[in-house]
């Protein structure tokens, strides 16, 4: 039996990791970082390096001029970056047949800070999951089930909206639903799970009453949620449909079946395609 713990991004500091034992950390930021990462890797990027500091991101880009520098604050592209945190545009750049691109540098409002906090707390393996790779992630976990003592899912949540830091992070349901979308597939695959802590309470917060096995119902529900509405309003105010295109990619279930595994090199955190076993 594998213990399953689920905590929002603002709760990770309370986590007590197993020692000894192996606990796989699964971070979920559906809109958009953990969708962007598998999209980039499946479209040919060798790695996705994640940073929260803008100066470090620009310096890394200067030393890796062929990299795509991607980043956003409150859903808006950072000035002097190549693109925002946009799976649609990154996919276009990687598959468009233009200049050679070997890697992506990613800086985001929410995911970057949570990843850095998790990495500072544990050396346990970390993978990035979303709807675009949920079946592949569940298969990876099932294939490595015998090596795992626990699973720690981290729905990231949102810390910045409208250009301001929120007093309390918002817990938008797309991250929670994507986490439990993977968990449902594990259960369907015969994995014996023991939910601990507030894991089931996290699912209840999403207010989703349908079947997690019904991909169309999950996606249809998510199109009407608060953060999606916020992103679409940004499109309306700017006269573009960039966010809509990204959301369409992020809600394309199993469209980019890769397993992004975190590799640590001192203070550099990079995701690369995982081998089949941990």
Predicted local confidence at residue 161, as pLDDT = 73
Predicted local confidence at residue 96, as pLDDT = 82
**Closest among 42, 27, 96, 33 to 70, alpha carbons compared:** 33
**Closest among 182, 84, 171, 68 to 132, alpha carbons compared:** 182
Contact 154, 118 (CB under 8 A): yes
Number of Cβ atoms within 10 Å of the Cβ of 66: 10
Query: What one-character DSSP code corresponds to residue 83?
Result: B
Predicted local confidence at residue 98, as pLDDT = 62
Strands, E assignment, 137-253: 150-155, 158-161, 164-170, 193-195
**Closest among 231, 142, 130 to 179, alpha carbons compared:** 130
**Closest among 89, 114, 100 to 35, alpha carbons compared:** 89
Predicted local confidence at residue 204, as pLDDT = 79
Strand partners, 126: 25
Q: How far apart are CA 230 and CA 235, in angstroms?
A: 9
Predicted local confidence at residue 99, as pLDDT = 61
Could you check whether the bond before residue 32 is cis, i.e. omega within 30 degrees of 0? yes
Predicted local confidence at residue 163, as pLDDT = 72
What are the mean pLDDT values of the chain's consecutive 10-residue runs (278 residues total)?
92 81 95 97 96 96 95 91 96 80 91 95 96 98 95 89 76 92 96 85 83 95 93 91 96 98 94 92
Q: How far apart are CA 254 and CA 93, in angstroms?
A: 21
Predicted local confidence at residue 89, as pLDDT = 96
Nearest 5°: phi and psi at 268?
Answer: -95, 125
- 97, 155, 190 from 142: Cα distances, Å: 36, 20, 9
Q: Which domains does the chain have, with CATH numbers?
A: 2-273 (3.90.1560.10)
Global pTM?
Answer: 0.95
Predicted local confidence at residue 23, as pLDDT = 94
The token pair at 106 is: 């990613």
């Amino acid at each position: 039996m594998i213990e399953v713990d689920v905590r929002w991004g603002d709760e990770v500091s309370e986590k007590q990791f197993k020692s000894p034992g192996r606990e796989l950390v699964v971070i979920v930021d559906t809109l958009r970082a953990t969708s962007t990462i598998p999209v980039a890797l499946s479209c040919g990027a060798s790695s996705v390096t994640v940073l929260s500091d803008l100066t470090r991101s620009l310096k890394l880009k200067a030393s890796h001029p062929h990299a795509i520098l991607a980043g956003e604050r409150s859903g808006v592209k950072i000035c002097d970056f190549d693109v925002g945190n946009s799976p649609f545009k990154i996919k276009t750049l990687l598959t468009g047949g233009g200049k050679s691109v070997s890697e992506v540098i990613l800086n985001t409002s929410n995911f970057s800070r949570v990843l850095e906090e998790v990495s500072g707390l544990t050396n346990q393996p970390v993978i990035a999951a979303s709807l675009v790779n949920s079946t592949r992630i569940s298969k990876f976990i099932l294939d490595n089930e015998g090596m795992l003592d626990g699973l720690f899912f981290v729905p990231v949540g949102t810390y910045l909206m409208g250009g301001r830091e929120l007093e309390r992070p918002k817990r938008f349901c797309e991250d929670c639903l994507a986490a439990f979308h993977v968990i449902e597939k594990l259960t369907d695959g015969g994995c014996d799970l023991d939910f601990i802590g507030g894991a089931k309470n996290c699912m209840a917060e999403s207010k989703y009453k349908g079947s997690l096995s019904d991909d169309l119902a999950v996606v249809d529900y998510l199109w009407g949620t608060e953060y999606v509405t916020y992103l679409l309003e940004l499109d309306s105010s700017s006269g573009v449909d960039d966010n809509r295109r990204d959301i369409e990619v992020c809600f394309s279930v199993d469209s980019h079946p890769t397993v992004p595994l975190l590799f640590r090199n001192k203070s550099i955190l990079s995701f690369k395609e995982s081998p089949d076993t941990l």
